[in-house]
Amino acid sequence: MTQDTNQLSSLLLEIGTEDIPARFLPSAIKQLKENSEAIFKENHIKFSGIKTYGSPRRFAMIAEGLPLMQEDISKEVFGPSKKIAFDENGKPTKAAIGFSNSQGINVESLVIKQKDKGEYVVAVIEEKGAQSREILPEILKKIVLSIHLPKSMRWGNNNLRFIRPIRWLLAVFEKEVLSFEIDGIKSSNTTRGHRFLSPAAFQIKEITSYVKLLANNNVIVDFEERKKIISAEIEKISASVNGSAIRDEALLETVANIVEYPVPVLAAFSEEYLKLPKELLITVMKAHQKYFAIENKEGGLTNYFIIVSNTTKENSGTVKAGAERVIRARFEDAKFYFEEDGRKRLEDRVDELKNVTYQEKLGSIYEKILRVKKLSVYLASRLNPLLEQKAGRAALLSKTDLITGVVREFPELQGIMGRYYALNDAEDKEVADALMEQYLPAYQGDRLPETETGTLLSLADKIDSIISFFSIGLIPTGSEDPFALRRQTLAVIAVMLNKEYDLPVSEIINEAFKNLKHVKKSAQAKEAVLKFFEQRLEPLFSTQGYSFDEIQSILSLAAEIPLKEIKKRLEALKGFKNDSGYNDFITAIKRVKNIIPETRLPALKLRLLTEEPEKKLHERLNTAKAEVDSLLKEYKYADALRTLSGLTDTINNFFDKVLVMDKKDDIKFNRLALLRNAWAAASSIADFSKL
């Protein structure tokens, strides 16, 4: 009976390990899929699709549509040049014969092909594809060894390094075991179920039954399926106590990667702990125990929570009792820290910050808050003088909660706990809110500060961080950005655009640089910071529908004009492109730009304007400039652009009738100075040379 080489088959690979930390499992599953696809392609094995699975004790791959035979391979091997391979009579030389013998083909089979600038002999080698079952064992071994995760380990006397010790390898091609060995572990068709609920090993004889058999042995091997089960159950359970689970995608993914057989269980804690800050309780439940908190319809925290167990419902009572005992101890610790922190006012902690290093070259956190205070007060003086006192007070207290017990234990609560402690100290509510809002927005798309004081503090804190690290040469490179300066820059831009502050970025940066004491201040550092801001603006505005050239024409002004005006100018420029006179104006104004030298020019002298077209240009330019300046003050950019475009005919007439590069230097430089003034007037709106 002949074998059908067109038959398509399935392949199952499972790597069984000791429990993999939840944070590493998604990467392991992703690598398994991507590496399998790449290695199959390298080895000329077709497949129709690859599905990956994973749970704490295993990650697996099922490849569909694999042929029984590897693809035939045709490869070309280049040999010596034609001149060396054949003599004058076209007969093969020793070089050609030696090359063909080395490739295992007849010399008559050599062909001539062009490569670079010459012709060379080529051996075309046809390799018949092998049977898939013969080559797959080595390929699967290569796939397993291609998976690299941080903090890999060795175990026993073995040399293999892996994320966790490998305990079994399962490899099945259709119904046949693919045999290979890694560090003494031999592959088979045997897997294992849940460590405690179904510890016995069992065989996978049919690949299609893999997922179902594992489920029968208390392992939900599909990560997405575990997420669905957990999500549905916590909604159902929280509804049973008239509440809803606080949705947290990161927590849901972590929990789904901790358990193989998820069974959510309702538990409760004493209502006395509800006196503690809501955020503190939620963080304790999430960070330490991976519990889901439940809130009521009004958004208040209830004393119920959900633990996702890795056992059957029959054990829920035991799970519930254990969880309640553990959370009680955790809450007692949190209560102790919170009460101890409350015994000392925030303002009494300020001096302690002198002993906490911010950065070796930038001094202590105390020195940072003094810089932030100066900048906050300056911003208030420019934007809302009534807030100077509040801005200064908020800045002074801004980092004091970093040395409290709760924040040392839960760093993610910085600012949040500062707000609670400030309110407890009877600080002004807006000052207290600012302590929390200084960290907003924490990421792109996050909510912005709501209070004016919080907004000023957020800007001052982030700008100080940016210019401080730039000043000592710690500038983001490539994907490296350890101090999150890109994120902080985007946050500054988002806040300033949202608030529409009438303040240029360059002014804030110049003021911030004045406050640096420990480092050498340089014009290059300031320039680098401004360029860094510009680079963040380009992708932001491109997502809003503005073209590359439109954005570039405005970016040159970005540092010198308020950010709120950039978008307005872009909108006006976009509309101006549809104006009938746009193309003629751009041609004329670029003609002006192209002739102006980079060198400094003398001031325009009216007595040297002798030709009527240049007098007319000067006259029209003065009128247009005055009108443009007035319109810019009123933010009427579209009108200003129309006014400028009215100069088109006058500029063209000047170039047609006047010889700019006159033989007399004083006349020539005076005409160039006139054109320089025309370009300066146009540049007050945009850099038209970029369009």
Q: Is residue 429, in this structure, part of any structural domain at all?
A: yes
Supply the CATH number for residue 685's domain. Answer: 1.10.730.10
Exposure string (b/e) for 568-595, b if CB count within 10 Å is 16 or more?
A: bbbbbbeebeeeeebeebbebbbebbee
Tokens, residue 55: 């749970």
Q: Is residue 563, in this structure, part of any structural domain at all?
A: no
CA distance 283 to 293: 9
Residue showing tokens 């100290």: 425
Tokens, residue 502: 């009438």
Say if CB 637 and CB 566 are below 8 A apart: no
Q: Mark whether 204 and 286 lie in a shared domain.
A: no
Q: Mark whether 245 and 317 lie in a shared domain.
A: yes
Expressed as residue numbers, the domain containing 81 is: 73-127
- 3-class SS at 217? coil
CA distance 553 to 665: 32
Say if CB 454 and CB 434 are below 8 A apart: yes
Q: Mark whether 308 and 373 lie in a shared domain.
A: no
Q: Is residue 565, in this structure, part of any structural domain at all?
A: no
Q: Mark whether 335 and 261 lie in a shared domain.
A: yes
Q: Mark whether 321 and 393 lie in a shared domain.
A: no
Tokens, residue 11: 């392949």
Predicted confidence at residue 258, as pLDDT, reads: 95
Q: What pLDDT digit, counting tens, does each position of 598-625 carry?
A: 888 899 999 999 999 999 999 999 999 9
Which of 279, 309, 341 is at the close of a domain? 341
Q: How many domains does the chain have?
A: 5
CA distance 617 to 589: 13
pLDDT < 50 stretches in the chain: 1-3
CA distance 586 to 594: 12
Predicted confidence at residue 1, as pLDDT, reads: 38
CA distance 274 to 514: 47
Say if CB 36 and CB 201 are below 8 A apart: no
The gap from C-alpha 367 to its chain's centroid, in whole angstroms, comes to 31
Q: Mark whether 227 and 91 lie in a shared domain.
A: no
Query: HEC states along 418-429?
Result: HHHHHHHCCCCH
Q: Is residue 537, in this structure, part of any structural domain at all?
A: yes
Query: Which stretches of 577-611 are DSSP H helices?
Result: 582-595
Terminal Cα distance for the chain, rounded: 73
Predicted TM-score (pTM) of the model is 0.81
Predicted confidence at residue 2, as pLDDT, reads: 42
Query: HEC states along 294-346?
Result: EECCCCCEEEEEEEEECCCHHHHHHHHHHHHHHHHHHHHHHHHHHHHHCCCCH
CA distance 375 to 372: 5
Tokens, residue 512: 């911030």
Q: Mark whether 420 and 487 lie in a shared domain.
A: yes
Q: Mark whether 190 and 245 lie in a shared domain.
A: no
Q: Mark whether 25 and 169 lie in a shared domain.
A: yes
Helix axes 523-542, 505-514, angle to 10 degrees: 150
Q: Is residue 3, in this structure, part of any structural domain at all?
A: no
Which of 319, 341, 363 is at the close of a domain? 341
By residue count, the chain amounts to 691
Q: Is residue 552, in this structure, part of any structural domain at all?
A: no
Which of 216, 238, 255 is at the close of a domain? 216
Q: Is residue 382, in this structure, part of any structural domain at all?
A: yes
Q: Mark whether 43 and 153 lie in a shared domain.
A: yes
Tokens, residue 494: 């988002």
Q: Is residue 415, in this structure, part of any structural domain at all?
A: yes
Cross-strand partners of 562:
504
Beta strand 58-67 with 8-17: parallel, antiparallel or unpaired?
antiparallel
Q: Mark whether 444 and 304 lie in a shared domain.
A: no
Supply the CATH number for residue 458's domain. Answer: 1.10.3210
Q: Which has the closest alpha carbon to 421: 400, 448, 393? A: 400
Cross-strand partners of 268:
304
Tokens, residue 408: 């040392």
Say if CB 571 and CB 640 are below 8 A apart: no
Q: Mark whether 389 and 510 lie in a shared domain.
A: yes
